[in-house]
C-alpha cells in the first residue's frame, strides 16, 4: 500500500448485537486502557516521558524496569526504561475517546487480537485532544492498549476458587470489532 492511498473500510455486520440484547452477560465492556511509553533508556528522556504521561492522564505513571542488560544500547538490568499508566471506568472511556481522536477514529483490522483486545500507537502526544504541550519537554509517542471483557471474567482474577474462562465465553476478534465500531464509532479498515 502506498502512502496516502485511501484505506478500504470493512463492513461490520451486526450479528452479535441481537444476542447481546437477549443475553446481557454476553455483551463486552471496556475493562481498561493502558498507555505505555517505552523510552528504552533511563535519564532525562525517561523523566520527560513520565511527566508528559502524568500531564495527559492526571495520574502518576509507574516505572517498568529492563528485564535484561543490553550492552550495545547501554541498558542495565533493573534500570527503568518505560512508563505505564492504566485507566479504568469513565477515565478510560474519556482517554480512549481522546486517543481515537488523534487517529481520526480509524483502526486497522490487524490491531485486534484473538482475545478481543486492540491496540494502536500515537506518534506524537500533541495529536491527542486537550493534550498540553511544553516546548521544554518536547513530544513523545506511546502505545495505547484497550482491553475488553465480558461480565463473569471475575472467575479468572478472584482469590478463592480461581478458574479458567470457558471457551464459549471468551471474546472473539469479530465481536470486539463489532463492539468497538458500535460503542466508540471506530472505522475499521484493512
Question: In the prediction, which pLDDT does 74 show?
Answer: 82
Question: In the prediction, which pLDDT does 5 show?
Answer: 64
Return d(Cα 47, Cα 4) in angstroms, integer.
35
Question: In the prediction, which pLDDT does 4 show?
Answer: 61
Question: In the prediction, which pLDDT does 51 show?
Answer: 92
Half-sphere exposure of 12 (CA within 13 A, CB side): 23
Query: 92 near 33, Cβ under 8 Å?
Result: yes
Question: In the prediction, which pLDDT does 16 show?
Answer: 86
Give the list of residues 6+ apart from residue 26 with CB closer than 8 angstroms, or none.
Answer: 16, 19, 20, 150, 169
CA quadruple 58, 61, 119, 124: dihedral, nearest 10? 70
Mean pLDDT by 10 residues, the chain (190 residues): 65 81 91 92 88 92 91 87 94 94 91 93 87 84 93 90 90 92 90
Question: In the prediction, which pLDDT does 9 show?
Answer: 77
Question: In the prediction, which pLDDT does 60 show?
Answer: 95
Return d(Cα 68, Cα 46) in angstroms, integer.
18
Question: In the prediction, which pLDDT does 3 show?
Answer: 57
C-alpha distance from residue 140 to each of 37, 67, 137, 155 (Å): 8, 22, 9, 37
* Assigned CATH topology for domain 17-189: 50s Ribosomal Protein L5; Chain: A, (3.30.1440)
C-alpha distance from residue 1 to each of 108, 122, 159 (Å): 13, 20, 48
Return d(Cα 22, Cα 18) in angstroms, integer.
6
Per-residue DSSP letters for 78-111? Answer: T-EEEEEEEEEHHHHHHHHHHHHHHTTTEEEGGG
Question: In the prediction, which pLDDT does 1 show?
Answer: 45
Amino acid at each position: 500500500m502506498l502512502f496516502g492511498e485511501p484505506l478500504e473500510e470493512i463492513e461490520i455486520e451486526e450479528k452479535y448485537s441481537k444476542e447481546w440484547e437477549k443475553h446481557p452477560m454476553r455483551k463486552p465492556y471496556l475493562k481498561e486502557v493502558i498507555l505505555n511509553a517505552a523510552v528504552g533508556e533511563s535519564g532525562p528522556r525517561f523523566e520527560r516521558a513520565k511527566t508528559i504521561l502524568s500531564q495527559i492522564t492526571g495520574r502518576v505513571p509507574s516505572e517498568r524496569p529492563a528485564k535484561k542488560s543490553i550492552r550495545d544500547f547501554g541498558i542495565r538490568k533493573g534500570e527503568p526504561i518505560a512508563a505505564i499508566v492504566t485507566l479504568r471506568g469513565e477515565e478510560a472511556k474519556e482517554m480512549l475517546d481522546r486517543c481515537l481522536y488523534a487517529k481520526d477514529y480509524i483502526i486497522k483490522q490487524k490491531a485486534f487480537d484473538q482475545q478481543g483486545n486492540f491496540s494502536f500507537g500515537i506518534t506524537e502526544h500533541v495529536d491527542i485532544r486537550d493534550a498540553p504541550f511544553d516546548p521544554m519537554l518536547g513530544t513523545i509517542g506511546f502505545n495505547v492498549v484497550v482491553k475488553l471483557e465480558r461480565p463473569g471474567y471475575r472467575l479468572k482474577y478472584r482469590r478463592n476458587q480461581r478458574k479458567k474462562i470457558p471457551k464459549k465465553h471468551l471474546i472473539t476478534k469479530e465481536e470486539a470489532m463489532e463492539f468497538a465500531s458500535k460503542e466508540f464509532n471506530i472505522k475499521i479498515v484493512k
